[in-house]
Amino acid sequence: MDRNHALAAFAALSQPTRLDVFRLLLRAGVNGMAAGEIADALDVKQNTMSANLAVLHQAGLVRNQREGRSIRYFADLDGTRGLLGFLMEDCCGGNPDLCQPVISSIACAS
């Protein structure tokens, strides 16, 4: 993850529909959702959703996979990890004592 990838990812997440899509796909987990399902779930027109999915894909935040006539989308956790790592690396490198509480507070309460 370099600076330009990070910029693209943040831009992707700065739009309401796209943020909703990403969180929806996080919830969907390994099942993912077909493009049309996503559009229906969020009440967004098909071509608008297609464009927004393309932005998320380009940004490395979602993956997709053709499945018959549909294309199924998944949250890309590798890309997500890269983004968060990029954001926090400076903090962790220079000031781990300050950074650690940020990390630990978002750990899954398993």
Partner DNA sequence: CCATCATATCAATAATTCATGATTTATGGA
Partner DNA sequence: TCCATAAATCATGAATTATTGATATGATGG
Binding site for a second copy (CB under 8 A): 3, 6-7, 10-11, 13-16, 19, 23, 26-27, 29-30, 75, 77, 80-81, 84-85, 87-88, 90-96, 98-110
User: How far apart, in whole angstroms, are the C-alpha atoms of residue 22 and residue 81?
Assistant: 14
Q: Which is nearer to DNA, 45 or 110 (CB)?
A: 45
Of a second copy, DNA, none, which one does residue 64 interact with (CB within 5 to 8 Å by kind)?
Answer: DNA
User: Using CA of residue 17, residue 21, residue 62, residue 70, what is the dihedral sign?
Assistant: negative
Reference 40, options 15, 20, 61; nearest CA is 20
Q: Which is nearer to a second copy, 43 or 69 (CB)?
A: 43
Of DNA, a second copy, none, which one does residue 52 interact with (CB within 5 to 8 Å by kind)?
Answer: DNA
Q: Which is nearer to DNA, 72 or 82 (CB)?
A: 72
Window 63-102: residues binding DNA (CB under 7 A):
64, 66, 68-72
Sheet holding 33-34, edge to edge: 33-34, 70-75, 62-67
For strands 62-67 and 33-34, give the pairing: unpaired
Q: Is 43 helix (H, G, I), strand (E, B) or coil?
A: coil
Q: Is 32 helix (H, G, I), strand (E, B) or coil?
A: coil
Q: Give me the residues that bind DNA (CB under 7 A), please.
A: 11, 14-17, 34-37, 39, 44-55, 64, 66, 68-72
